[in-house]
Amino acid sequence: MAIHTLTRVQNIPTDLQTLWDYISSPKNLKTITPDYMGFQIKSDLPDKMYAGQMILYTVRPLFQIPLGWCTEITHVKELEYFVDEQRQGPYKIWHHQHHVKEIENGVEMTDIVHYQVPLGF
């Protein structure tokens, strides 16, 4: 049973509050998801995420075959991080941390995803 980790760090030339307001709004999920995923939100969404929030989507990552996906926002620490975890969907395990911190000339955003594909490769 292999659990993979994907870590990405990017520096964004903006202030922490502006970035946090953008990434913590579930209504912006579609704009930050690659187009090839065919991402469509199926839930009614508030302006701000909160711990315990469930979000339903359809994704089309391969051959345009639609797959249902449900994630839960499990942790939110304002202006520092939030975590989403898959409850139903294409992965056996999906745990995605989003961290932000102020740096000189902007904000450092770090995404850490722990995941396992369905067959455990």
pLDDT value of position 29: 87
Domain membership flag for residue 22:
yes
Number of structural domains in the chain:
1
Domain membership flag for residue 69:
yes
Candidates 68, 32, 71, 66; CA nearest to 49 is: 71
pLDDT value of position 81: 98
Domain membership flag for residue 56:
yes
Q: Which domain holds residue 46?
A: 4-116
Q: What is the pTM of this model?
A: 0.89
Domain membership flag for residue 84:
yes
pLDDT value of position 96: 96
pLDDT by 10-residue block (mean), the chain, 121 residues: 93 98 92 85 92 93 86 97 95 96 97 87 53
Domain membership flag for residue 121:
no
Question: Can you give the CATH number for the domain in which 30 is found?
Answer: 3.30.530.20
pLDDT value of position 3: 94
DSSP 76-104: EETTTEEEEEEEESS-SEEEEEEEEEEET
Domain membership flag for residue 100:
yes
